[in-house]
Amino acid sequence: MDRNQLQRQVALMRSSLIEQVPNPSLPSLKLLVGYLDEQQFLQLEDLQDDVNPNFVEEIVTLFYKDSARLFHNIEQALKSRPVDFAKLDNYMHQFRGSTSSIGAIKVKNECNQFKEFCLAGNAEGCARAFQKVKQEHETLRTQLETYFKLRRQAGLAETV
Amino acid sequence: MTVEQRNDDPRDQFPIGMRVLAVDDDPTCLLLLETLLRRCQYHVTTTSQAITALNMLREDKNRFDLVISDVHMPDMDGFKLLELVGLEMDLPVIMLSANGDTRLVMKGITHGACDYLLKPIRIEELKNIWQHVIRRKKFDSTNQKTSGNQDRSNDGGGEGELVSAGTGNSDHSGKVNKKRKDQNEDDDEDPDENGHDNDDPSTQKKPRVVWSVELHRKFVAAVNQLGIDKAVPKKILDLMNVEKLTRENVASHLQFQNPAFRSFPPGGMIGRLNTPSGLGLRGLPSSGMIQLGHAQTSGNSNNQVKFQPVTLQGNNNGSILPGIPMPYELDQQRNKGLHIGDLSTTIDDTAVFPLSNSLPDVKIATGNGSNNVISVTNNMLMLGHCQDAQAGREFGNHSSVSVAPLKPEFCSPLQDPGRCNENWANSVQPSGFQSNSFPLNDRQKHAALHRSSSRDNMSVMASQIGVNQFDASSIASASFRPDNSLSDSQSSMIQGWGNLHKQDSSCRPNLMSSSMNSLVPVNGGLGPLEQGLDLKNPMYHRNMDFDSMGQPNYVDPLMVKYEEVEKSTMETLKLKQAYLMDQQRPQGSYMSNNFDPLGDVVSAMMKQEQDKAEGEFDAYPLRV
């Protein structure tokens, strides 16, 4: 791909990720629609500058690393009997904080679902909601990885 | 990162280079926060442990200007950190959380957070956080002067009953909260709150002085220290040692306090009353207020007491009577009817307010012809004044609505006491108010007034009064809502007042009655109602607030005073009126009524003031 194409792709993907309107020219990106909160993500990108050239990637990586830890905790808590809902809520609250910092809307929505079940003391519901959270989490990760790859390629293309 | 470089930057370029300590256990959020802060050109230090943060802060308090902390942290609760930092280092702390639940936010505020941000954070929000640093600095410096005193006063409660009444009796925590709130508010409004509007340098003759609670406490402390007999404005001023406060301010305030104690010096007093001192109701438990405090103790004291001082403050954050700016201003501009108008407006919240102030209002109000305003103010004043007078009499007898009681002296400005009384009396009478004449002397009348009106009315009135505009009609309507028995009398009373104003007296009646009613119920202390329904109104207004609380309680002290006044009708009024009356104490004679600790002081002061005031207060222009 030449530089322009790459860049265009990057732009398209990004807008798909952010906006709710699927981009017809990139059918594969339909899946990405609405994954990220525009404002938040844009802010992240905005923070990326010469001083912080890889900020977005950095923070996303950090997010995934930290969420792995939280997921582990949640799973443990879900397995334990009796289920400690307060703890669950606590962990999820933390996780939600970082997801919103990234701007991961869908993941956050699933988190909210989880919280509902948690408040209701529904362990099964929590477990199911948690599965969904993980799913969305993974999907987003894939999308973002692709996005970053494209960006890097476009960036490299530029320097070339 | 240029952070280090910025570090070298002198704070001259503030907020650039502001040193922030960021605490959050979530690494993602922490990284984001850090980056955002750096983008704002602050100097950032981060840590994911609250304990580490504390240690850093303890090592060197001056290392940071501001702390941002997450609420949810594993090693220490964010609120706890908040408290500790506030106490030990007195640094501004901003809370951060993904949870925006109101209760949590409230918790943050009560623990001393200067702001509460929700995650995800945006850079726009961070761009403004430096204001908290400035505020804190400003507040601290201004507060040093006042808070110290205030604390003394508050704690001492010694200022006598004045203070304690308002605060001591009532809920201490409330007071504390209030204080904290005040402080917070002060923080925000710093310059204004501390009783001195920055706008006008004290050099100006008539700066608007807002008699915040703190200021009032200082005032009270000074007065106590000097002794009532010797509490002359000059000395009080010196003792208070508050910048930008002029002798005149103090004098006005003094007068305000004393409505009950002294007969209002014609004109002068009223004017004074209006002035800040009057307004000071907020801060000052001016006779009316203070009395309320007492009264309150019985019942809603908490509310009331707090309310009173608070109310004053409440309205304007710091200004004594938020609602009634006039009082203070009145002082300054005694002659301007404007004040009164303002009062009315401010009255809304500060029911407490203006009682004392109101008197002056009366004067002014009438003069100006701004009917509403004037009447209101007058009422307010009256209320305040009345309270004193009435307070003794019987709280319940608000009916006597201080309005009338305004002793002739007082009334004169209003238009001539006789007239006032008459008006009031007449109007009131109908309902059996006994207070035919409002003359302060004639407490009974007040009592009657009080009695008749239902508390609600009074409160309503009071509230009405508070309502801007103290539009008589509006007030009237408002107060009349509950209008109970007093309505008639009240209306008449109001009418009386109305006359004063020269406005449509019919309008006034409502006010009056309402005020009476409201006064009674609510603030008991609002005594001034008696004096002038208008006065009461403001008070009532306040009372209203209290009302919910349970006014009767407040009224107690006042009620006592009212005893003297006819107790005939207004029960509710009584309370209020009593309170008011006490304040107003038509001539200081009421002082004897029970209420008083403040009353005494006030009267004494009033007397002194009176002398002084004579010249100043022009006869209340109650030119009806």
B166 vs B289: CA distance, rounded Å? 7
3-state helix, strand, coil in chain A (%, to 5): 80, 0, 20
Q: CA A33 to CA A15: how far, in whole Å? A: 8
Q: Which residues of B touch A63 (CB under 8 A)?
A: 28
SS3 for B282?
coil
Residue ranges of chain A with per-residue pLDDT less than 50: 22-32
With beta carbons less than 8 A apart as the criterion, state whether B569 and B433 touch.
yes
Residue A133's pLDDT is: 92
Residue B206 CA to its chain's centroid (Å)? 20
**Residue B385 DSSP symbol:** H
In order, the DSSP letters of B190-221 are HHHHTSB-SSS-TTSSS--B---HHHHHHHHH
Q: How far is CA B255 from CA B135, B223, B585, in A?
A: 33, 12, 12
Which has the closest alpha carbon to B188: B318, B309, B328? B318
Which residue from B28, B72, B97 is facing A63, i.e. has the nearest CB?
B28
Domain count, chain A: 1
Query: How many Å is the maximal CA-CA distance in chain B?
Result: 82
Sequence-separated (6 or more) residues with CB below 8 Å from residue B410 = B259, B263, B264, B265, B266, B269, B270, B359, B362, B381, B382, B385, B417, B440, B531, B584, B586, B620
Closest to B98 (Cβ–Cβ): which among A52, A63, A97?
A97
3-state secondary structure (DSSP) of residue B254? helix
- The CATH code of the domain that includes A152 is 1.20.120.160
How confident is the model at residue B208, as a pLDDT? 66
Residues in chain A: 160
Are B373 and B507 contacting, i.e. CB atoms less than 8 angstroms apart? no
Domain limits for position A118: 3-157
pLDDT along chain B (624 residues), means of 10: 48 79 92 91 92 90 90 88 86 89 91 90 87 80 54 42 39 43 45 42 55 80 82 83 80 72 45 42 40 38 39 39 41 41 39 39 38 40 41 39 38 41 41 39 42 42 39 39 42 42 41 40 39 40 40 43 46 46 43 47 54 47 47
Closest CA relative to residue B506, chosen from B430, B432, B567, B441: B430
Whether A69 contacts chain B with CB within 8 A: no
**In this complex, is the C-beta atom of A140 within 8 Å of any C-beta atom belonging to chain B?**
no
Counting one residue from A and one from B, how many pairs have CB atoms under 8 Å apart? 62
Preferred mutation among A43, A49, A70, A137 to probe B, highest tally of B CBs within 10 A:
A43
Which residues from B are below 8 Å from A when comparing CB atoms?
1-2, 25-29, 31-32, 35-36, 39, 70, 72, 97-99, 119-123
B434: Cα within 13 Å, side-chain hemisphere: 24
- Nearest-Cα distance to chain B for A130, in Å, is 19
What predicted TM-score, i.e. pTM, was given to this entire model?
0.42
ipTM: 0.84
pLDDT, residue B30, reads 92
Q: Provide the pLDDT for residue B42.
A: 92
Does B36 sit within 8 Å of A47, measured CB to CB? Answer: yes
A112 touches chain B (CB under 8 A): no
Residue B117, φ and ψ in degrees, nearest 5: -105, 150
- Give the integer Cα–Cα distance in Å for B110 and A102: 30
Name the residue of chain B whose CA is nearest to A49's CA.
Answer: B39
Chain B contact present for A150, CB below 8 A = no
Query: What is residue B21's three-state secondary structure?
Result: strand
Residue B229 CB coordination number (10 Å): 10
For residue B195, the model assigns a pLDDT of: 41
- Token pair of B425, please? 């009396």
**Residues of chain A neighbouring B28 (CB-CB closer than 8 A):** 59, 62-63, 66, 98, 101-102
State how far the alpha carbon of B251 is from the alpha carbons of B258, B268, B539, in Å: 11, 10, 21
CB A16 within 8 A of CB A29: yes
Q: Which residue of B25, B70, B98 is in closest CB contact with A100?
A: B98
Q: Which residues of B touch A100 (CB under 8 A)?
A: 98, 119-120
Question: What is residue A49's predicted lDDT score, i.e. its pLDDT?
Answer: 82
| Minimum-distance CB partner of A47 among B29, B39, B119 | B39
What's the pLDDT at B609? 53
